[in-house]
Amino acid sequence: MNKILLYFILFLSSNVFADQDKTINLIVENCKSCHNLNKQVTKKIPDMNNLEKEEFIRLMTKYKNDKDNSVMNRISRVFTDNDILKIADKIYGKK
């Protein structure tokens, strides 16, 4: 299952197969499935509505650079810094 998720994220982050805006939209839709962007709160998975945009960027960059094998590390390691900024813009709006 984890390998499938990683391959799916790799596919989504590729500019070869889809244009960038569609790719970012798909990535954000995947984020919503776990992170409750519809304001539904769970205790196991953090709600991104409670984060500021800058904190989201800092956390995603940290997850990307971590040397562990956590779910968020496996998902985020395929993103460029620019991908993270575009995802943040999509979720939190451009400032």
Walking along the chain (95 residues) 10 residues at a time, the average pLDDT comes out as 68 59 85 71 72 93 92 91 94 81
Domain count, the chain: 1
- The CATH code of the domain that includes 24 is 1.10.760.10
Q: What is the rounded distance in angstroms from the CA atom of residue 76 to the CA atom of residue 65?
A: 9
Residue 48 has which token pair? Answer: 């991104």
Q: Nearest Cα to 30, choosing from 74, 80, 95?
A: 74
This prediction has a pTM of 0.71
Q: State the pLDDT at residue 81.
A: 95
Give 68's contacts (C-beta < 8 A, 6+ positions apart). none
The residue segments making up the domain with residue 19 are 2-92
